Amino acid sequence: MKIAHFSRWGFLMAAVGSAVGLGNIWKFPYITGEYGGGAFVLVYLLTVVLVGFSVMIAEMLIGYLGRRDGVGAFEDLAPRHKERWKYAGFMGLSGTLVMFYYSVVIGWIFYYITLSFGTLPATIPEAEGIYNHLMTQGIGVQIFFHTLSFMIVTAVLVRGIKGGIERFNLILMPALMLIIAGMLVYVMNLENFSKALSYMFVPDWGRLTSEAFAVAVGHAFFTLSLGMGAIMIYSASLEKSSNLVRASIFVIITDTLIALAAGLVLFTLLFQYGAEPAKGPGLVFISLPSVFHAMGLVGNVLAVLFFLALAFAGLTSSVSLVEPMIQYLIDRWNMSRIKAAVSMGLFFYVFGIVAIFSLNTDTASYLTWGGKNFFDWVDYMTSNVLLPLAGLIMAIFVGYVVEKERVASVLQEQMGWFYPIWRCSVRYIAPVALFVVMLNLMGLIEF
Ligand code: PHE
């Protein structure tokens, strides 16, 4: 099997492109708002540093040593019980399932880009009206923009690692960073910036429920793109001389800074214009547009830039969500890239349409089970079950199954004194943390 190599900068941008996604700019601010600010942010940051970092290195290592599709990598690296470990590799293919809803949300963002050029909703009730209408009745609009998202993602993936994924990320990621940095500088000069700072960084422990705690930990994994095979498949295309530890640090710091910057931008604007920070998933689609409206023409410009940045973030993550499955089909089923990319594209496209119908008033009842519609089920199963489970399995795999010498041969020199600490983290801390959080996210335990 032949996998093209990323350039050094190309890999970093692709990995950051994967990590920085809807999770950073859409989800992080709204869950921070819902779960009450500072304490939530602190738990998230601690998880990123204490567990996320070591699991990211573990996932990179599997890809880097395996140098092939996820299933093959697990097989190759398990000295015994290849057959059994192969199934762990299949877990690393679950990213395509995330696309069932991810692509739909990117579609909403496209729609909001078009709105931003015209008249934005003047009041929150008006904004709520537009959003609710889109969700519950706007099947045509949603399918139209979901189709656009499917076409862009598939077109990039058809071109492969070098000409597609690397090039795409090398253009979009710097653009996204510039937009977010520019907006941050803008809000720093607003009066309510300090209020946003204290909202996000002064912990109010009373508000940290056990659910908030688990969501913060779960989100730390989601935002770093762990447990879906994305980081693994990109690492399979790393140059042999690459430094995994430095790459992980770069990805983690950039991802975190962008999430925090996006949060500060959003909360400053919301406070400045007296809008509600705890609005749930509609935060950037309801509260924010009316804030942009209140700012006049500047607001339109900011709105276009903001939603563009959000679309860039979503699209660059999307390609990493589908690529593991494509590489699997190429390696294992001998498919051509174009066939693999198009069939995977169609796969998430069709289920994306099911997700859209599951939100619609007329059809929701057919696509809702146990109080959750199809859209929410996919989000729940991928973020709360598959992702932590795969993270747990990867940590155990690298910590106990892959030969110690092989792990050490790559990481010992790159880590130095930190190596034993990392090893302890993947063997003990990460598995226990992930297990507990998974049970909590599934509602099986409380703490
Ligand atoms: N990290 C992305 C985000 O924050 C989502 C993602 C998860 C992408 C897993 C790839 C793999 O939105």
Measured in Å, residue 293 CA sits from the centre of ligand 1 at 30
94 lines ligand 1 (CB under 6 A): no
* 19 C-beta closer than 6 A to ligand 1: yes
Residue-wise pLDDT for 246-273, tens only, equals 999 999 999 999 999 999 999 999 999 8
| DSSP secondary structure code for residue 280 in this structure | G
Residue nearest to atom 11 of ligand 1 (CA): 225
Domain of 387 in residue numbering reads as 8-441
Tens-place pLDDT, residues 282-340: 889 998 998 999 999 999 999 999 999 999 999 999 999 999 999 999 999 999 999 99
Q: Is residue 303 part of a domain?
A: yes
Task: Decide which of 350 and 87 is more confident.
Answer: 350
Q: Which position has the higher pLDDT, 371 or 185?
A: 185
Please say if the pLDDT value at position 411 is more than 70. yes
At residue 3 the predicted structure's pLDDT band, cuts being 50, 70 and 90, is low
Q: Is 225 in the pocket of ligand 1 (CB under 6 A)?
A: yes
Which residue from 165, 223, 224 has its CB within 8 A of the most atoms of ligand 1, so it is best to mutate? 223
| Whether residue 434 has its Cβ less than 6 Å from ligand 1 | no
Among the residue ranges 71-80, 177-186, 231-240, the one predicted with the least confidence is 71-80
**pLDDT value of position 79:** 79
CA 28 to chain centre: 10
Query: Could you tell me how far CA 21 lies from the centroid of its own chain?
Result: 5
Contact 442, 434 (CB under 8 A): no
- pLDDT tens profile 80-127: 888 888 888 888 788 999 999 999 999 999 999 999 998 899 988 899
Q: Is the pLDDT reported for residue 198 higher than 60?
A: yes
Q: What is the CATH classification number for the domain harbouring 222?
A: 1.20.1730
pLDDT higher than 80, residue 277: no
Confidence band for 207, pLDDT divided at 50, 70 and 90: confident
Residue 210 lies in a domain: yes
**Range 341-355 average pLDDT:** 97
Q: What is the mean pLDDT of residues 203-210?
A: 85
Compute the radius of gyration of the chain from its Cα atoms.
21
Does residue 355 lie in a domain region? yes
Q: 382 C-alpha vs ligand 1 centroid, how far in Å?
A: 11
Instruction: Give domain status of residue 436, yes or no.
Output: yes
Verify whether ligand 1 is closer than 6 Å to residue 411 (CB atom): no
Quote the pLDDT of residue 279: 73
- At 1, the pLDDT band (50, 70, 90 cuts) reads low
**Mean pLDDT across the chain, nearest whole number?**
92
In a domain, 447, yes or no: no
d(C-alpha 274, C-alpha 284), whole Å: 15
Task: Evaluate if residue 189 carries a pLDDT over 90.
Answer: yes
Does any domain span residue 264?
Answer: yes
In this structure, are residues 309 and 180 in contact, taking their beta carbons and an 8 Å threshold? yes
pLDDT at 15: 97
Task: Give residue-wise pLDDT tens across range 222-242.
Answer: 999 999 999 999 999 998 889
Tens of pLDDT, residue by residue over 12-62, are: 999 999 999 999 999 999 899 888 889 999 999 999 998 999 999 999 999
CA 313 to ligand 1: nearest atom:
12
Are 108 and 130 contacting, i.e. CB atoms less than 8 angstroms apart? no
The response to whether residue 16 sits with its C-beta less than 6 Å from ligand 1 reads: no
**How many distinct structural domains can be found in the chain?**
1
Ligand 1 centre distance from Cα of residue 376 (Å):
16
Percentage, residues of the chain above pLDDT 90: 72
Based on the number of CB atoms within 10 Å of its own CB, is 341 exposed (0-12), middle (13-18) or buried (19 or more)?
A: buried
Rounded to two decimals, the pTM is 0.94
1 belongs to a structural domain: no
pLDDT computed for residue 361 by the predictor: 86
Q: Is the pLDDT of residue 2 over 70?
A: no
Which whole number is the average pLDDT over 140-168?
Answer: 96
The verdict on the CB of residue 320 being under 6 Å from ligand 1 is: yes
2, part of any domain: no
Q: Confidence band (pLDDT; 50, 70, 90) for 211? A: confident
Q: How much is the pLDDT for 61?
A: 96
